[in-house]
Amino acid sequence: MMGRIRIYFIVVLLLLLAGSCSKEKLDEINTDPTKLTENNYDPNSLLAQAQLKYANLGYYQLLYQSTMMQLLASSYYYYNNGDKYINIGSFTDYQGRIFDEGYADASYIREMQRLAKLKDPAAYQNLIAIGDIMYVLVLQRITDTYGDVPYSQAVKAMQGIKYPIYDRQEDIYTQMLNDLEAATAQLDADKPAPSADLFYKGDIVKWKKFGYSLMLRVAMRLTKIDAAKAKLWAEKAAGKTFGSINDNAILLTDASSFNSQNGTSLALRTYSDYLEVRWSKTLIDQLKNTNDPRLGIIGEVPKDGLAKNADQNLSGNTDPAVQLGMPNGFDLQGGATDISHSPDYPGGTGNGSDFAPLGKYSRPRTEMYLKLGGPIFILSFAETEFLLAEAKVRGWNIDGTAKLHYTNGLTGAIQSLAQLDPLAAVDANKITAFVNQNPLDESNSEKALGTINTQYWVATGTNFNFIEAWLNWKRSDYPKLIPVNYKGNVTNATILRRMIYLSTEVLNNPQNYKDAVARIAGGDVLTARVWWDK
């Protein structure tokens, strides 16, 4: 698939697709696509397109990562892939979507850079550098999901490379870190800024912080496999990362255009999803057990009865005392795994044809999470501060104490919810009290790592950044999730460690695909581990 992307025609195609991007940035492009040339096309538009596509995942992160990380739970059958680790029909196609969509994003970025270099490399210096940072952002998600993937030869059909090799993940990580260092150094606030930047509106100072924050995340992925390299690069990034939630990388979607609407919100507004997707018991119990103020912010219990459960204009009950998470691994099929047989099942609401079997479980708050123009989190201050806290616990040369970075992370994670919607704002005194009641215990380093990474999981989960929650869980082994054991599961009742390669690669790039699979211990299966996940 990736090897056959028709880069030669990408400029024309992207103009036709421009309507799917931010209207504010792209609607001014009125060039007749039949008369489009390299000279009259603005490469800035490709940045916006790549950013939107990278961020707006919808089902690509819902059907697996959201539920297998026990952040959400669902009784609906096509969520069984992640909730219960079973393969259901055509929905297995989603295992390859990060690969397929990711390389499409990468192709936009490389074409953007090609056009920029062709037109005026000096004037587009910042755009070209941001392209390299974006390329690492995209490729890290791909390689962390699958393992060995094309990097050095990726999206080079114009250069005659139709069948790119799958680089070893160890080599990809070395190159990503080097690429980030070079690209971030090239950013210059005195040079022209990109004009269609959906993350930071061309703010180069924020892009520098983003580059170093991404460098920190890339570095910390290596803690299990190469702690020395992780330390080296984390120390390079430290002190230059995000300074507050104002630096959060967030993409605003556009409710007025179907192709630019928030894909996750759109998916969860589907009738079956809206009725059967709930917050997981694992997450809600975590918030309850720590008296977390987010409990009364993120969830709502629907009004009684099926009809009111389905009415997206009816707000639910946000009282923390009534919030209840749904256990993963149950269905509505009437058998032994029916939700009615789960421990402590609270019963449903309504009667007869108006009965809602999941009516007492907490769903993501509609006003906050299901806005069609709602923001999408890319990388946050809270994430970087938790990673810096971990680096400090590991004894690395990081300014500030582990307690300070942990406090910053926990505070920032709660504050950032107001960036999803103002109704999620939490009083500063309540945040301070919560942080003081839940300090970082450094008496035992493993306990401290568990606390930090559990809060990373909460932060990314409540920001609906489910893929990152999964990837950091693989790296840190926290929180200690208890897998479900549903009949017919394909992982021997273990949580998925990777996704299976895009199915068409065996036909389109057979030899390189086979070489990569041969290097995977256990083969191209969901239970195999990528190089750094040891």
Torsion sign over Cα 225, 456, 255, 265: positive
Residue 375 host element (H or E) = strand 375-379
State pTM to two decimals: 0.93
**pLDDT recorded at residue 37:** 63
Q: Cα separation of 405 and 409, whole Å?
A: 6
Name the residue among 103, 97, 106, 129 with its Cα closest to residue 116: 129
The DSSP result for 37-81, as a single string, is -GGG--THHHHHHHHHHHH--THHHIIIIIHHTTSEEE-SGGGHH
Boundary (domain end) residue, out of 369, 390, 405: 369
Instruction: Name the residue among 434, 453, 436, 438 with its Cα closest to residue 393.
Output: 453
Residues 6+ away with beta carbon under 8 Å from 9 = none
Q: Is residue 497 scored above 80 in pLDDT? A: yes
The answer to whether position 116 is within a domain reads yes
Helices (H), ranges, 290-438: 295-298, 306-310, 366-369, 381-393, 402-416, 428-437
Final residue before a domain boundary, out of 369, 387, 419 = 369
Our CA dihedral for 496, 499, 503, 509, rounded to 10 degrees, sits at: -140
CATH number reported for the structural domain that contains residue 169 in this entry: 1.25.40.390
What letter does residue 32 receive in the DSSP assignment? Answer: -
Whether 26 has a pLDDT exceeding 50, the answer reads no
Task: Write the Ramachandran bin of 137: left for phi over 0, alpha for psi from -120 to 50, otherwise beta.
Answer: alpha
Reply yes or no on whether the pLDDT at 2 is more than 70. no
Looking at per-residue pLDDT, the higher value among 250 and 15 belongs to 250
User: At a CB cut-off of 8 Å and minimum separation 6, what does 379 contact?
Assistant: 137, 210, 213, 214, 217, 242, 248, 249
Confidence at 241, pLDDT banded by 50, 70, 90? very high
- Residue 22 is predicted with a pLDDT of 37
* Domain-located, residue 513: no
Indicate if 286 and 332 belong to the same structural domain: yes
Q: How far is CA 194 from CA 50, 191, 423, 439, in A?
A: 13, 10, 32, 42
pLDDT in tens, 74-109: 999 999 999 999 988 778 889 999 999 999 999 999
- 464-493 residue pLDDT tens: 999 999 999 999 999 999 999 999 999 999
CA–CA gap between residue 144 and residue 136 (Å, rounded): 12
Please indicate, yes or no, if residue 507 is contained in any of the structural domains. Answer: no
16 pLDDT more than 90: no
Range 201-217 burial, b when 16+ CB lie within 10 A, else e: ebbbebbbbbbbbbbbb
Q: How many other β-carbons are positioned within 10 Å of the β-carbon of residue 254?
A: 19
Q: Do residue 354 and residue 428 come from a single domain? A: no
Residue at token pair 């509609």: 366
pLDDT: which is higher, 170 or 1: 170
Q: Mind giving me the DSSP string for 398-461?
A: -SS-HHHHHHHHHHHHHHHGGGT-GGG---HHHHHHHHHHS----SSHHHHHHHHHHHHHHHHH
Average confidence (pLDDT) over 260-267:
96
- Structure token pair of residue 376: 């999408």
Whether residue 284 lies inside any domain: the answer is yes
CA distance 533 to 528: 9
529 within a domain of the structure (yes/no): no
Percent of the chain with pLDDT over 90: 90
Distance, CA of 500 to CA of 527 (rounded, Å): 10
Number of structural domains the chain divides into? 2
**Statement to judge: residues 327 and 282 lie in one domain:** yes
Query: 277 with 181, same domain?
Result: no
220, 282: one domain: no
Lowest average pLDDT, out of 26-40, 126-140, 176-190, goes to: 26-40
Summary mean pLDDT of the chain: 93
In-domain check, residue 188: yes
Q: Is 379 helix (H, G, I), strand (E, B) or coil?
A: strand
Q: Are residues 150 and 133 in the same domain?
A: yes
- Pairwise CA distance, residues 331 & 350, whole Å: 19
Strand partners, 299: 364
Residue 482 lies in a domain: no
If asked whether residues 381 and 365 sit together in one domain, one would say no
Shared-domain flag, residues 439 and 402: yes
Cβ(258)–Cβ(421) below 8 Å? no
Enclosing domain of residue 27: 2-262+372-476
> Which of 36-45, 160-169, 444-453, 468-477 shows the lowest per-residue confidence on average (mean pLDDT)?
36-45
| Interatomic CA distance for residues 85 and 487, integer angstroms | 10
pLDDT band for position 41 (cuts 50, 70, 90)? confident
Handedness of CA 111, 116, 121, 122 (dihedral sign): negative
> Is 483 a domain residue?
no
pLDDT in tens, 109-134: 999 999 999 999 999 999 999 999 99
What is the pLDDT, as a whole number, of residue 91?
Answer: 80
State the Cα–Cα distance between residues 86 and 84, nearest whole angstrom: 6
Q: Does residue 67 share a domain with residue 29?
A: yes
pLDDT in tens, 502-516: 989 999 999 999 999
Domain end, chosen from 461, 476, 491, is at 476
DSSP 224: T
pLDDT score at 6: 35
- DSSP per-residue letters across 82-142: HHS----GGGGGGGGHHHHHHHHHHHHHHHHHHHHHHH-TTTTHHHHHHHHHHHHHHHHHH
Q: How many residues does the chain have?
A: 534
Q: What is the pLDDT of residues 403-415, one digit of tens each?
A: 999 999 999 999 9
∠ CA 286-291-292, nearest 5°, is 70
Residues 249, 291 share a domain: no
**Rounded Cα gap, residues 153 and 134, in angstroms:** 17
398 and 463 in a single domain? The answer is yes
Whether residues 120 and 207 share a domain: the answer is: yes
pLDDT per position as a tens digit, 337-384 = 999 999 999 999 999 999 999 999 999 999 999 999 999 999 999 999
For residue 223, name the pLDDT band (cuts at 50, 70, 90): very high
| Contact status, residue 29 vs residue 15, Cβ threshold 8 Å | yes
- The predicted model gives 12-24 an average pLDDT of 37
